[in-house]
Structure 1
Amino acid sequence: MNEEQEKIIALCRNFVASMMQVETGITTMHEKMSKGERQEALKAVLRWLDTSPEIPANSYTRELAREILGQLSASAFYEDYSGSSDSYIQ
């Protein structure tokens, strides 16, 4: 592999590792926060995502982040969320 390939691979690995940290944080929120606190935190993240000058308004990043956070945040709205029942996820 050349240096540029290695940089892209490292970026992708870091991205996936960061996603796992976010998933873990969001799916364990119910252990540390009330439902209202969880909802407030996620709304703040989505507000930041929609208004952040760091992320171009027309970028794929903004839209994909909304989608991923929306999927992961399902756990914030249930007191007893235990993950997906879809066999392909487990």
Structure 2
Amino acid sequence: MTGADRPPAAEGREHGDVVDARGLRCPLPVIRLAAAARDRAAGTRLTVWSTDPAARLDVPAWARMRGHAVVAEEPLPRSGDADAWAITVELGG
């Protein structure tokens, strides 16, 4: 994905990766995020893009249960999806 393809919430991130779960329904955004986090080091930031309203509750709940922290949550205004959100999780140890 080029910088021109990325919604503004993902631009300029120094580290981390994006899990694009737009169009997927519960529980798939969390499943995709968990798979991406599986072999990552503590301190890694992963951002999940989701259009599923449940992800705004499910991702923070998953993060708490796994010892991670939600560090940002913001809309993706130019994503093409009216209700798309970017939720960034910093992985714990």
TM-score band, normalised by shorter chain: 0.3 to 0.5
Task: Indicate the structure with greater strand content.
Answer: 2
Decide which structure has greater helix share: 1
**TM-score, with structure 1 as normaliser:** 0.33
- Name the TM-score, length of structure 2 as normaliser: 0.32
Larger radius of gyration: 1
